[in-house]
């Protein structure tokens, strides 16, 4: 029964994530107004707005204009369900679960916004920074979360390392490289998981980014100067860090 509840909760928050992904880049309020079809602009009724189920019943098409609904919507909802179930399975009902669910949901929103629009909204990164720092004052949290000293060092270190890359790249190439949104995102990760997470995350995310871009460089569909959203790679790097977090921490404190 608990897993059914978590499943439904994940689907509902996944639907909310879709709203944020669509509205935040254009500066629209996420709670202002009902959902509507982006093609015909007609309002979507409640029965056509049930996560996953409505998409399947409508065969992936708008009831009014019959235009295709992007599969991104069902993908985001499915990933959200997976996030909720995985975290609940690992940590049960706890403060850690609540914190990681918030982090996972915001990561999901950032991932798809940056992937399409090459931006990371400040409202998301600043919220993560604040929550990451505030939670560090609770000494009873899971060991993956650092104390407030490591948290603030991590936040500064995370921002500083990306800012330094941007600064030196601009001095050498005379143009912008990465964006400050990436610096804020890495800073938020530092606030959440401490300074020792930063080197691992930046290294793994860079490797993943390189491996994903190399095929495009080989077939010449992209150039070295092409814009690449780095936020999704930072998020993937953080996910890998969390999977091996206990082993990494044991090596650092050995």
- 217, 223 contact by CB (below 8 A): yes
List, for residues 44-100, the tens digit of each pLDDT value. 777 778 888 888 888 888 888 888 888 999 999 999 999 999 999 999 999 999 999
Helix 180-193 vs helix 95-117: angle between axes, to the nearest 10 degrees?
A: 170
Higher pLDDT, 14 or 251: 14
Q: Based on the domain organization, do 145 and 245 belong to the same domain? A: yes
In a domain, 102, yes or no: no
Q: Based on the domain organization, do 205 and 86 belong to the same domain? A: no
In a domain, 44, yes or no: yes
List, for residues 31-55, the tens digit of each pLDDT value. 766 777 777 877 877 777 888 888 8
Look at residue 195 and tell me whether its pLDDT is greater than 70: yes
Q: Based on the domain organization, do 187 and 234 belong to the same domain? A: yes
Higher pLDDT, 117 or 224: 117
- 226, 214 contact by CB (below 8 A): no
CA 210 – CA 226 distance, rounded (Å): 13
Q: pLDDT-derived band of residue 121, with 50, 70 and 90 as boundaries?
A: very high
Give me the numbers of helices (H) and strands (E) for the chain, helices first please: 10, 0
Q: Based on the domain organization, do 131 and 170 belong to the same domain? A: yes
Helix (H) or strand (E) holding 234, with range, is helix 231-243
Tell which residue, 77, 91, 100, has the closest CA to residue 10: 77
- 203, 220 contact by CB (below 8 A): no
In a domain, 166, yes or no: yes
% of the chain beyond a pLDDT of 90: 59
Q: Based on the domain organization, do 43 and 130 belong to the same domain? A: no
What's the pLDDT score for residue 226?
Answer: 66
Q: What is the DSSP letter of 226?
A: S
Instruction: For residues 186-212, give the mean pLDDT.
Output: 94
Let me know if 54 is exposed, middle or buried by CB neighbors in 10 A (0-12, 13-18, 19+).
buried
The partner residues of 68 in beta bridges, in order of sequence, read: 61
In a domain, 183, yes or no: yes
Report the domain count for the chain: 2
Q: Which of these three, 75, 93, 111, is where a domain ends?
A: 93
- 166, 178 contact by CB (below 8 A): yes
List, for residues 201-241, the tens digit of each pLDDT value. 999 999 999 898 888 777 766 665 667 889 999 999 999 99
Q: What is the pTM for the complete model shown?
A: 0.91
Tell which residue, 22, 71, 63, has the closest CA to residue 43: 63
Look at residue 30 and tell me whether its pLDDT is greater than 60: yes
Q: Which of these three, 93, 114, 149, is where a domain ends?
A: 93
What length does the chain have?
A: 254
In a domain, 43, yes or no: yes
CA 4 – CA 141 distance, rounded (Å): 26
Q: Based on the domain organization, do 80 and 161 belong to the same domain? A: no
For the record, the structure tokens of 129 come out as: 């920074």
In a domain, 164, yes or no: yes
Q: Based on the domain organization, do 167 and 210 belong to the same domain? A: yes
In a domain, 111, yes or no: no
Q: Based on the domain organization, do 87 and 127 belong to the same domain? A: no
What's the pLDDT score for residue 247?
Answer: 76
Q: Based on the domain organization, do 128 and 16 belong to the same domain? A: no
What residues contact residue 86 under an 8 Å CB cut-off, 6+ apart?
A: none
Q: Based on the domain organization, do 150 and 73 belong to the same domain? A: no
Q: Based on the domain organization, do 89 and 130 belong to the same domain? A: no
In a domain, 100, yes or no: no
What residues contact residue 120 under an 8 Å CB cut-off, 6+ apart?
A: 110, 113, 114, 179, 181, 182, 184, 185, 231
Let me know if 118 is exposed, middle or buried by CB neighbors in 10 A (0-12, 13-18, 19+).
middle
> Domain limits at 65?
1-93
Q: Which of these three, 76, 93, 110, is where a domain ends?
A: 93
Higher pLDDT, 108 or 196: 108
Q: Based on the domain organization, do 31 and 155 belong to the same domain? A: no
What's the pLDDT score for residue 254?
Answer: 55
């Amino acid at each position: 029964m608990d897993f059914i509840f978590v499943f439904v909760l994940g689907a509902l928050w996944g639907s909310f994530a879709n709203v944020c992904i669509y509205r935040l880049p254009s500066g629209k309020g996420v709670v202002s107004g009902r959902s509507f079809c982006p093609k015909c602009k007609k309002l979507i009724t409640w029965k056509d707005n049930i996560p996953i189920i409505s998409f399947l019943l409508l065969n992936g098409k708008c009831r009014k204009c019959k235009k295709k609904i992007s599969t991104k919507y069902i993908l985001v909802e499915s990933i959200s369900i997976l996030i909720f179930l995985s975290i609940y399975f690992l940590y049960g009902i706890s403060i850690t679960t609540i914190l990681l669910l918030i982090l996972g949901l915001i990561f999901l929103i950032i991932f798809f916004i940056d992937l399409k629009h090459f931006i990371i909204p400040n409202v998301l990164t600043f919220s993560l920074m604040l929550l990451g720092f505030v939670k560090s004052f609770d000494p009873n949290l899971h060991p993956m979360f650092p104390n407030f000293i490591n948290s603030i060092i991590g936040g500064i270190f995370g921002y500083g390392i990306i800012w330094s890359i941007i600064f030196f790249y601009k001095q050498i190439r005379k143009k912008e490289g990465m964006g400050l949104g990436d610096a804020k995102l890495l800073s938020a990760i530092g606030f959440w998981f401490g300074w020792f997470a930063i080197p691992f995350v930046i290294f793994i995310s860079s490797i993943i980014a390189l491996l994903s871009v190399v095929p495009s460089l080989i077939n010449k569909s992209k150039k070295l100067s092409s814009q690449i959203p780095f936020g999704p790679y930072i998020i993937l790097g953080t996910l890998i860090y969390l999977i091996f977090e206990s082993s990494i921490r044991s090596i650092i404190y050995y």
